[in-house]
């Protein structure tokens, strides 16, 4: 779930779903080898593996697998839930490791345990971001997703904030509620008992309290805020810089260190619970898998391509990238507390590639592979298959360049800053390749005779003038 804080403050509604019109074909370029990156946690290894997934070797492996398993619309549709199960299972495994790291931080707060907790959070984002392609085409995933990845959040609901954040919001009475510092919250004539910070409190009392979607109390970004604190650097260098002493009961800084630890653990436990629900839904007898099977092959292929097209266009190219670039606003970057946005965008794009290729490299290095959209299109519409393959390669090249710049030159929030022509151009190139890729996804929809599918749109792409109203 993604809401522009600017939209909330300027009273703009969330963008309607818009159909994308096919039309322009662009010449494709071949992907180039990427450098190995050194990044926190386990993301560097995963990035190296993922960035090589478009190489001739991996393509040959995928083709060989498809050759040993008959490629039909039915087998492609049947393999789709297997990909989802593997990705959500990996997300769960990494969330469990994150909880362990956070428990170690609370048990013995230090620079080292805080660093380890942050690295565990970064590693947890790698598989999860690759799961976002299962949104949009699967209603159960969309209904659930806001519990784990809603953004942006008004962090003053959770904990202390800097004076620059402000003290009140016309749209949100809980803008600075600071539940960590307050054991009860007033709601109209009633009160919320927050004396004990539990998963139940976060999910059933605080999440979207007062019906405001900026009141995000759960999920990855709540944990991110607790581990890093606010990023007060604007479009300058630097991420959040919370001290480990914010969790220390003997060296406590900024007060309520015991309750801050309780919140961190409760949010981490809830994340695990939510991911277990999604793993169960995609399991052999899970409700999401069974719903797809009941709807049939054509509906499953439609769900696959709707997820690819909506994430590619309205969500990633539009809401998460073009909007922030237009506004030059660091509040519009996805992982803003940690400055991990470049990797989140990269793995979102990698998730689209996974579905096209029917292939996902798991966190243990093993590969889940089977009949793919790519192989099906090669049989039925080879020109469309080649065009989409090349368009996805262009996107992954552009995303790799964005990651390299973020790791070596400047963070994503600096890239989108006003007056940064070079950084802006790197982000714009990634946006443009995503938009182009969506045109080829539309061609795949037509080639597979799936009728008219609706992809999510964004004012930032469809009617840019509306962004500034």
pLDDT in tens, 214-246: 999 999 999 999 999 999 988 888 899 999 999
Q: What pLDDT score was predicted for residue 26?
A: 35
Q: Which of 261, 416, 241, 262 is nearest to 338 (CA)?
A: 241
Angle made by CA atoms 388, 403, 162, in degrees to the nearest 5 = 125
In the predicted model, what is the mean pLDDT of residues 423-451?
98
- Residue 351: C-alpha distances to residues 32, 50, 72, 167 (Å): 19, 10, 22, 39
Residue 387 burial (CB < 10 Å; 0-12/13-18/19+)? Answer: buried
Q: Which of 150, 143, 144 is nearest to 221 (CA)?
A: 150
Q: Which residue has the tokens 């605080």?
A: 206
In the predicted model, what is the mean pLDDT of residues 76-105?
98
Which two three-digit tokens encode residue 282? 């995609």
- On whether the CB atoms of residues 14 and 451 are closer than 8 A, the answer is no
Q: What pLDDT score was predicted for residue 59?
A: 57
Coarse DSSP helix, strand, coil percentages of the chain, rounded to the nearest 5 percent: 60, 5, 35
Q: What pLDDT score was predicted for residue 187?
A: 77
pTM: 0.89
Any idea which of 26-40, 145-159, 351-365 has the lowest mean pLDDT?
Answer: 26-40
Q: What pLDDT score was predicted for residue 65?
A: 55
Mean pLDDT of the chain: 88
Rounded CA-CA distance 455/15 in Å is 11
- Residue 325: C-alpha distances to residues 76, 149, 337, 408 (Å): 37, 21, 18, 20
Q: What pLDDT score was predicted for residue 56?
A: 52
Domains by residue range for the chain, with CATH: 5-468 (1.20.1420.20)
Query: Around 211, how many Cα atoms within 13 Å sit in the side-chain half-sphere?
Result: 2
The total of other beta-carbon atoms located within 10 Å of residue 168's CB is 9
Rounded CA-CA distance 420/405 in Å is 13
């Amino acid at each position: 779930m993604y809401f522009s804080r600017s939209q909330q403050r300027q009273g703009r509604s969330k963008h309607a779903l818009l159909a994308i019109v096919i039309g322009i074909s662009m010449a494709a370029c071949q992907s180039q080898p990427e450098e190995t990156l050194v990044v926190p946690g386990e993301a560097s290894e995963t990035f190296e593996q993922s960035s090589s997934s478009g190489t001739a070797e991996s393509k040959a492996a995928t083709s060989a697998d498809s050759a040993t398993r008959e490629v039909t619309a039915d087998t492609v549709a049947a393999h789709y839930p297997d990909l989802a199960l593997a990705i959500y299972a990996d997300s769960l495994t990494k969330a469990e490791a994150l909880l362990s790291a956070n428990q170690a931080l609370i048990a013995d707060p230090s620079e080292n345990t805080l660093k380890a907790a942050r690295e565990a959070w970064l590693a947890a984002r790698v598989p999860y971001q690759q799961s976002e392609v299962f949104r949009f085409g699967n209603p159960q995933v969309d209904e659930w997703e806001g519990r784990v990845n809603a953004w942006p959040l008004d962090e003053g609901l959770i904990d202390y904030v800097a004076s620059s954040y402000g003290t009140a919001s016309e749209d949100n009475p809980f803008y600075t509620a600071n539940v960590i510092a307050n054991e009860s919250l007033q709601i109209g004539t009633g009160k919320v008992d927050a004396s004990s910070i539990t998963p139940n409190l976060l999910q059933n009392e605080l999440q979207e309290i007062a019906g405001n979607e900026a009141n995000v109390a759960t999920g990855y970004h709540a944990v991110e805020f607790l581990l890093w604190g606010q990023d007060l650097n604007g479009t300058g260098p630097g991420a959040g810089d919370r001290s480990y002493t914010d969790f220390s009961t003997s060296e406590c800084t900024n007060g309520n260190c015991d309750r801050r630890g309780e919140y961190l653990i409760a949010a981490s436990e809830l994340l695990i619970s939510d991911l277990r629900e999604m793993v169960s839904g995609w399991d052999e007898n899970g409700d999401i898998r069974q719903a797809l099977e009941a709807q049939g092959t054509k509906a499953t292929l439609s769900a696959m391509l709707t997820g690819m097209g909506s994430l590619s266009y309205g969500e990633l190219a539009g809401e998460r990238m073009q909007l922030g670039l237009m506004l030059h606003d660091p509040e519009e970057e996805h992982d803003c507390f940690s400055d991990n946005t470049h990797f989140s965008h990269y793995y979102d794009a990698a998730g689209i590639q996974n579905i096209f290729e029917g292939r996902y490299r798991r966190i243990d290095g093993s590969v889940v592979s089977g009949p793919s959209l790519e192989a099906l299109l090669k049989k039925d519409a080879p020109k469309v298959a080649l065009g989409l393959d090349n368009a996805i390669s262009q996107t992954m090249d552009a995303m790799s360049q964005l990651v390299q710049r973020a790791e070596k030159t400047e963070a994503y929030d600096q890239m989108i800053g006003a007056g940064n022509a070079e950084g802006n151009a790197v982000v714009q190139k990634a946006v443009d390749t995503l938009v182009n890729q969506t045109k080829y996804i539309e061609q795949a929809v037509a080639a597979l005779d799936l009728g008219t599918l609706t992809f999510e749109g964004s004012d930032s792409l469809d009617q840019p003038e509306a962004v500034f109203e």
